[in-house]
Amino acid sequence: MPLPRDLSLAWKTIKGQKGGFAGSFVALAAGSAVITACGILLMSGLASGVAPERYAGADVVLSAGQSFWLDESSAVRYSERVTLPADKVAAVAAVPGVKAAVGDVDVELSVLNSDGGVVGGANGYPVYGHGWTSAELGPFRVGTGHAPTAPDEVVLDSGLAWRAHLSTGSTVRLVVGSNASTYRVVGIADPPPGGLARQSALFFTDDQAVELSGRPDQVAAIGVLAQPGVNPDMLSKAITAAVPGVEPHTGTGRGDVEFLDVGDARNLVVDSSASFGGTMVLIVVFVVASTLTLSVQQRRRELALMRAIGATPRQIHWMIGAEMTLVSLSGALAGAIPGVLLAFVMRGVFVLAGAMPPDYRMDVGVLPVLASLVLCVFSARISGWLVARKVARTSPVEALGEAAVEPRKLGRVRLAIGVLLIPVGLLLTLGNVADSGDSVADVAASAVLFFVVALGCLGPVLLRGAIVLFGRFLNNQNHAAGFLAQSNTRANVRRLSAGATPLAIGVTLAAVQIFGATTTGAATQAQLNDGLKAGHVLTASSGAGVSPQVAAAVSSVPGVSAVTPVARMQVLLTFGTQTKVFAAQGVTPDRLADTMDLKVDGGSIADLHDGTVALSDVTARMVNAKLGGTVVLRLGDSTLIKPRVVALYDRGLGFGDVTLPNDLVVAHTTAQVDSAVLVASAPGSDQGALADALRKAVAAYPTVRVGGPAAFSVTPAAGDSGGWALNLLFQTLLLGYIAIAVVNTLVMATAARVREFAMLQLIGAGRDQVRAMMNGEARTVIFSALLFGLLAGVPSLVGMSLGLSHSPVPDISVLGLLAIAVLTVALCWGSIAVATRFAMRSAPIDAIGGRE
Concatenating the DSSP letter of every residue in 650-666 gives: S-HHHH-SEEEEHHHHH
- pLDDT band at 678; cut points 50, 70, 90: very high
Mean pLDDT of 462-484: 85
Query: For the ranges 103-117, 145-159, 360-374, which has the lowest average pLDDT?
Result: 360-374
| pLDDT at residue 292 greater than cutoff 70 | no
pLDDT for residue 667: 94
Sequence-distant (≥ 6) Cβ neighbours of residue 274 within 8 angstroms: 38, 42
CA distances from 253 to 47, 55, 200, 474, 586 (A): 9, 11, 20, 62, 33
Q: How confident is the model at residue 645 (pLDDT cuts 50, 70, 90)?
A: very high
pLDDT of residue 789: 93
Sorting pLDDT into bands at 50, 70 and 90, what band is 326? Answer: confident
Name the pLDDT band for 802 (thresholds 50, 70, 90): confident
**What span, in angstroms and rounded, lies between the C-alpha atoms of 130 and 132?**
6
pLDDT at position 296 is 66
Mean pLDDT of the residues in the chain? 85
**Highest-confidence range of 30-34, 280-284, 753-757, by mean pLDDT?**
30-34
3-state helix, strand, coil in the chain (%, to 5): 55, 15, 30
Give the residues across from 677 on adjacent strands: 538, 565
Q: Is the pLDDT of residue 293 over 80?
A: no
In angstroms, the CA 328 to CA 383 distance is 11
Please tell me the distance from the alpha carbon of residue 458 to that of residue 57, in angstroms, as a whole number: 64
Q: Is the peptide bond before 139 cis (omega within 30 degrees of 0)?
A: yes
Task: Convert the pLDDT of each residue in 496-518 to its tens digit.
Answer: 887 888 889 889 988 988 898 88
Residue (of 61, 152, 142) closest to 104 by Cα position: 61
Verdict on whether the full-model pTM lies above 0.85: no
Nearest to 824 by CA among 729, 734, 727, 735: 735
pLDDT at 437: 43
Which parts of 576-692 are beta strand (E)? 578-587, 600-603, 612-616, 632-634, 640-641, 644-649, 658-661, 676-681
Order of all β-strands in the sheet with 221-226: 98-104, 221-226, 60-63, 247-249
Q: Is the pLDDT of residue 331 over 90?
A: no
Whether 302 has a pLDDT exceeding 80, the answer reads no
Nearest to 843 by CA among 761, 764, 751: 761
Q: How many Cα atoms are found within 13 Å in the side-chain-facing hemisphere of 542? A: 24
pLDDT of residue 543: 75
Report, as an integer, the average pLDDT of 474-490.
Answer: 82
Length of the chain, in residues: 852
The three-class DSSP label of residue 140 is coil
- How many Å separate Cα 436 from the centre of its chain? 24
What's the start-to-end Cα distance of the chain, in Å?
29
CA distance 295 to 22: 9
Counting Cβ atoms within 10 Å, is residue 851 exposed (0-12), middle (13-18) or buried (19+)? exposed
Reduce the DSSP state of residue 632 to 3 states and report it.
Answer: strand
Amino acid identity for residue 377 in this structure: V
Residue 158, C-beta contacts closer than 8 angstroms, at least 6 positions apart: 143, 188, 189, 190, 191
For 114-160, how does the pLDDT look when each residue is reduced to its tens digit (9 = 90+)? Answer: 888 889 888 888 999 999 999 999 999 999 999 999 999 999 999 99
The 3-state DSSP class for residue 683 equals coil
Contact 852, 298 (CB under 8 A): yes
Q: Could you give the CA distance from residue 365 to residue 27 in angstroms, rounded to a whole number?
A: 24
The predicted model gives 396-404 an average pLDDT of 55
What pLDDT, in 10s, does the model give residues 650-671? 999 889 999 999 999 999 999 9
pLDDT of residue 850: 57
